Amino acid sequence: MLSKFNQFIEKWMALVTPACLLFGVLFPDVAKHGLPYVSLVFAFMTFTGALKSDFHDMARVLKRPFPLLACLGVLHVLLPVLACGLGHLLFPGNDDLITGMVLEFSVPTAVVGLMWVTIYGGNSPLSLSLVIADTLLAPFLIPATLQLLVGSRVSMDAAGMMRELLFMIALPALAAMSLNELTHGRVRKEWPSKLAPFSKMCLIFVVTSNSSKVAPYVRDLTPQRVLVAAAILLLAASGYAIGWFLSRFFGGERETAVSMVYGSGMRNISAGAVIAAAYFPGEVLFPVMIGTLFQQVLAACYGKLIERKYH
């Protein structure tokens, strides 16, 4: 039954996360009861996602690191700068919305991207290494990016944010990879399939709980917030497209293209939502959470384009 549940969620992922957002917005008094447990649940998600990796995977990819470095450049330099510039262009003086846009495109690549890479035949070692490297760097890159691009205009607890990210992302990932090393890969073979359904439940829990904090802003949609959603959609679609374009410089074969499309386009929005909810005003959360409406749908659309391109 759990296996069927996991397959169902993977098949309908493009609809699951928007549905969770909608539930949290419609029933915030119910969804908000999960907020105290979000960080702990998210740490379990990271641990489960990292179980498919070990230090040898990273070592192999680092022998040819340029696709990995290109994805990191898109994730943590190009798109955050574009988000900041577009935010200032569209919403001058609104520091909360600008901060939310920058945070949305500063979080690491999504673990769930590995699912799409598997579906469309991507380069799994490259994708796994990107997820692990970006996950381990996140506690340092996210506060640094925010401090550099918006730090002088918003009140920010960088040290607290770093501790939260270490607990939610870096330490669980290191624990999972270390388990793989200690058990000589036995954990990698047995645990991911058993824990995958629970990881999906955790994703539903995290998105639904965090949605309760953005409910007032979604219910009271203004032309400005609709424009925010359009800007997030444009930037999110651009991330996938830029990854695909850059893959042409590394041979252009299907495997590399698939991994770079999803590595550059998908974001760990749940991590951004946890940070936004914990350390920033409510309006910062709106640009972050609204991305859940688009990410999985864009992933499915780009998958169809990949299939058409590579027959």
- Two tokens, residue 180: 């793989």
Residue 23 lies in a domain: no
Tens digits of per-residue pLDDT, 52-97? 777 777 777 778 889 999 999 999 999 999 999 999 999 998 999 9
Question: pLDDT exceeding 70 applies to what percent of the chain?
Answer: 98
For residue 30, the model assigns a pLDDT of: 93
With tokens 């914990």, the residue in question is 278
CA distance 39 to 23: 20
Region of poorest pLDDT, from 110-114, 173-177, 187-191:
110-114
> Rounded to an integer, what is the distance from CA 298 to the centroid of its chain?
13
Instruction: State the Cα–Cα distance between residues 212 and 273, nearest whole angstrom.
Output: 11
Mean pLDDT of the chain: 86
Q: Which two tokens stand for residue 153?
A: 């205009």
Please, what sign has the CA dihedral across residues 13, 121, 253, 81? Answer: positive
Q: Which of 125-139, 144-158, 204-218, 227-241 has the lowest mean pLDDT?
A: 144-158
Residue 4, in any domain of the structure: no
Is the residue at 273 inside a domain? yes
* pLDDT, average across residues 214-226: 84
Would you say residue 100 has pLDDT above 80?
A: yes
Task: Answer whether residue 24 is part of any domain.
Answer: no
The domain of 189 spans 33-310
Helices (H), the chain: 2-11, 13-26, 28-31, 38-50, 55-62, 66-73, 79-90, 95-104, 113-119, 124-149, 158-165, 171-182, 186-219, 223-247, 254-265, 269-279, 282-290, 295-310
The continuous run of DSSP H or E covering 267 comes out as: none
Q: What domain count does the chain have? A: 1
CATH number at residue 154: 1.20.1530.20
Q: Is residue 299 part of a domain?
A: yes
pLDDT of residue 156: 63
Residue 75 lies in a domain: yes
pLDDT of residue 153: 62
Q: Is 120 a member of any domain? A: yes
Structure tokens given for 293: 């409406």
Query: Which of 30-34, 202-206, 207-211 has the largest mean confidence?
Result: 30-34
Per-residue pLDDT, averaged over 261-286, amounts to 86
In a domain? residue 7: no
Task: Determine the pLDDT at residue 234.
Answer: 96
CA–CA separation, 157 vs 18, rounded Å? 30
**Residue closest to 286 by CA, chosen among 235, 229, 242, 231:** 229
Residue with the larger pLDDT of the pair 88 and 160: 88
Q: What tokens were used for 290?
A: 């609204």
Which pTM was predicted? 0.81
Helix axes 223-247, 254-265, angle to 10 degrees: 150
Residue appearing with tokens 């399939």:
193
For 202, the token pair is: 């955790």
